[in-house]
């Protein structure tokens, strides 16, 4: 009898765990003019496989009882290590043919955060953002000083040319050629996605804690130490257990001005909106102002969603209802936009 009760109790614990474990994760690998006709089947499969790999690794960690902070860190690290996305390996080139990377991370329970801008030799900028959050009294570090801090934390450092990829170098050359013809806005002509590359993850764990992580190589041909929205907490990355966690990707300048990630959470918190509808509203308003891009969102109930006003967004999500991996806008998103 005792054994039976134990078995039932274990079984219930299992089912409670399963319910408590309504964990979930959403990731993105950038939004932009992602044209189906410009992508081979093989390219599409490669992107889908990389997205599935990142979302599955994050989900498995959550399902095993891991924290949302660890899950978003892991998923973003996987995307940083893939040359397909503009973050870590695969980062775009600056005007000076180097790479300058930005990243941010935030945890919803105490709204602790870490952010880094313009580092050139840190293999995984998201790990530096996390070290800043956990091992320093600061939130944001920049440039050489941030690299010194990374070294003090024994993070893996690489030569800047680790980030080199041929196809990003070609994109830089096209951007520079176009810019010589049209001083302003020329990079847009050369590459409609020039400002669009970012990777990110948001997750909820079995304790209900939310977390968000975002990483980017920035903008092709960027100059003057330009910093985008990623390390600006509230713009491209935000997490607050009383509302939601958001990671954004798009035209960073608009994301900063419109405080996109925090504004989505403010509408959830102060207007009682669902995270999905708040995200749609803010991304629609962004487009009206001239800004393109998208966000991934998880709310405190574990609802996973995304919104974007571009042709596509590399994206995936997984919870106990299954896995979704998508690149192009679906009919649902087209109807919404």
Q: What positions carry a catalytic annotation?
A: 198
Residues 313, 31: contact at Cβ < 8 Å? yes
> Minimum distance between the CB of residue 270 and its own copies, rounded to whole angstroms?
4
**x-or-dash string of contact with its own copies, 198-227, rule CB under 8 A:** -------------------------xxxxx
> Minimum distance between the CB of residue 61 and its own copies, rounded to whole angstroms?
25
Is residue 184 involved in binding its own copies (CB under 8 A)?
yes
Q: CA 175 to CA 219: how far, in whole Å?
A: 11
Angle between helical axes of 260-271 and 275-289 (0-180°, round to 10): 130
Q: Which of 30, 228, 294, 312 binds its own copies (CB under 8 A)?
A: 228
Is residue 149 involved in binding its own copies (CB under 8 A)?
yes
Backbone φ and ψ for 130, nearest 5 degrees, come out as -70, -40
Two structure tokens written together for 193: 């996605």
C-alpha torsion sign, points 263, 265, 269, 272: positive
Two structure tokens written together for 167: 């196809």
Q: For 123, which DSSP code? A: S
Contacts of 84 (CB under 8 A, 6+ apart): 29, 46, 47, 50, 90
Is residue 299 involved in binding its own copies (CB under 8 A)?
no
Is residue 258 involved in binding its own copies (CB under 8 A)?
yes
Nearer to its own copies, 59 or 163 (CB): 163
Is residue 146 involved in binding its own copies (CB under 8 A)?
yes
Q: Which of 118, 193, 209, 300 binds its own copies (CB under 8 A)?
A: 118
Is residue 248 involved in binding its own copies (CB under 8 A)?
no
Residues in the chain: 337
Is residue 232 involved in binding its own copies (CB under 8 A)?
yes
Alpha helices in 114-221 (DSSP H): 125-135, 143-152, 166-181, 186-190
Is residue 148 involved in binding its own copies (CB under 8 A)?
yes
- Interface positions with its own copies (CB under 8 A): 106, 110-113, 115, 117-118, 136-146, 148-149, 184-185, 223-228, 232-235, 238, 252-253, 256-259, 262-263, 266-267, 270-271, 289
């Amino acid at each position: 009898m005792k054994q039976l009760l134990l078995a039932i109790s274990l079984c219930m614990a299992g089912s409670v765990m399963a319910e408590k474990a309504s964990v979930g994760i959403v990731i993105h690998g950038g939004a932009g003019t992602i044209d189906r006709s410009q992508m081979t089947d093989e390219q599409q499969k490669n992107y889908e496989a990389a997205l599935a790999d990142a979302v599955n690794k994050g989900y498995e960690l959550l399902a095993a009882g891991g924290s949302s902070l660890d899950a978003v860190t892991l998923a973003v690290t996987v995307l940083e290590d893939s040359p397909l996305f503009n973050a870590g390996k695969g980062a775009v080139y600056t005007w000076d043919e180097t790479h300058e990377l930005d990243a941010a991370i935030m945890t919803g329970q105490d709204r602790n955060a870490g952010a880094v801008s313009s580092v050139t030799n840190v293999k995984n900028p998201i790990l530096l953002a996390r070290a800043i959050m956990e091992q320093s009294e600061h939130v944001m570090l920049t440039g050489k000083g941030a690299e010194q801090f990374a070294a003090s934390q024994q993070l893996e450092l690489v030569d800047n040319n680790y980030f080199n990829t041929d196809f990003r170098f070609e994109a830089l050359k096209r951007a520079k050629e176009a810019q010589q013809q049209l001083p302003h806005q020329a990079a847009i002509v050369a590459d409609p996605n020039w400002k669009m590359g970012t990777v990110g993850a948001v997750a909820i764990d079995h304790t209900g804690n939310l977390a968000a992580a975002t990483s980017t190589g920035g903008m092709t041909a960027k100059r003057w130490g330009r910093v985008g929205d990623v390390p600006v907490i509230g713009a491209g990355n935000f997490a607050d257990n009383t509302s939601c966690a958001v990671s954004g990707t798009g035209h960073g300048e608009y994301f900063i001005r419109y405080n996109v990630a925090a504004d989505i959470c403010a509408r959830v918190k102060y207007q009682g909106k669902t995270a999905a509808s708040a995200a749609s509203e803010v991304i629609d308003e962004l487009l009206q102002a001239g800004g393109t891009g998208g966000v991934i969102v998880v709310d405190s109930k574990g609802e996973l969603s995304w919104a974007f006003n571009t042709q596509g967004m590399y994206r995936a999500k997984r919870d106990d209802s299954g896995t979704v991996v998508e690149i192009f806008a679906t009919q649902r998103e087209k109807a919404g936009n």
